[in-house]
Amino acid sequence: VESRGAEVVGSFDAPGGLKGYAARYNGQGIALYLTPDGDHVLIGSLLDANGQDLTHAPLEKLVYEPMGKEMWQRLESSTWIQDGATDAPRIVYVFSDPNCPFCNMFWKQARPWVEAGDVQVRHVMVGMLRPDSAGKSAALLEAADPEAALTQHEAAGKASRLKPLARISAKVDEQLEANLTLMGEMGSSATPAIYYLDAEGRLQQQQG
């Protein structure tokens, strides 16, 4: 299983002589159950006689909680544009492409929360939808006031006059590539990809 790309991160007790292992695979948690003979592995959920899922709790503890903390830290250290008050009680990260109409829709829908000081949205800029997306993201990141530039671009919608940079600096190009790589590693393939911490501090995701 490891040779196919899975990373075993811990083990847990399982009934029936099985030995449970928790693994990460393509950004998801999977449970592996080693049979008593040591020669066979079952992959998937294990239910008891009452239909209770015995797999959820171990995966939450061994995979999703540590992975959520790790991914949140990686989001914090990524390259993003702040949108909203620095002391807002809730932070939301969104992978955003300047040519994405649904990113624009989310930006507009978030205005009441942002303007009330309740939410700070951090736009992790990527360039993936159109040939000029990277140039436009670079233009925003290299603007004298990136937050103001982003606000002007999103507020204008389809009428935006944001011009892509003809030449992207090596530094910004590296930042955009890193953002896109992070987006993929977090299991997202389309923008907007929205991440936040719920009331229990667990990382939650909203696609589109």
Up-side HSE of residue 135: CA atoms within 13 Å toward CB? Answer: 9
pLDDT digits (tens, 9 = 90+) for 122-155: 999 999 999 999 999 999 999 999 999 999 999 9
Quick check: 172 pLDDT over 80?
Answer: yes
Q: How confident is the model at residue 106 (pLDDT cuts 50, 70, 90)?
A: very high
pLDDT for 203: 93
Q: Hey, is 7 helix, strand or coil?
A: strand
| pLDDT at res. 26 | 80
Question: Phi and psi dihedrals of 174, rounded to 5?
Answer: -65, -40
- The length of the chain is 208
Distance CA(182)–CA(71), nearest Å, equals 9
Closest CA to 103 of 70, 137, 139, 72: 137
pLDDT value for 2 = 94
Against a cut of 0.95, is the pTM above it?
no
Residue 27 has pLDDT above 80, yes or no: no
Q: In the structure, what pLDDT confidence band is assigned to residue 200 with cuts at 50, 70 and 90?
A: confident
Name the 3-class secondary structure at 155. Answer: helix
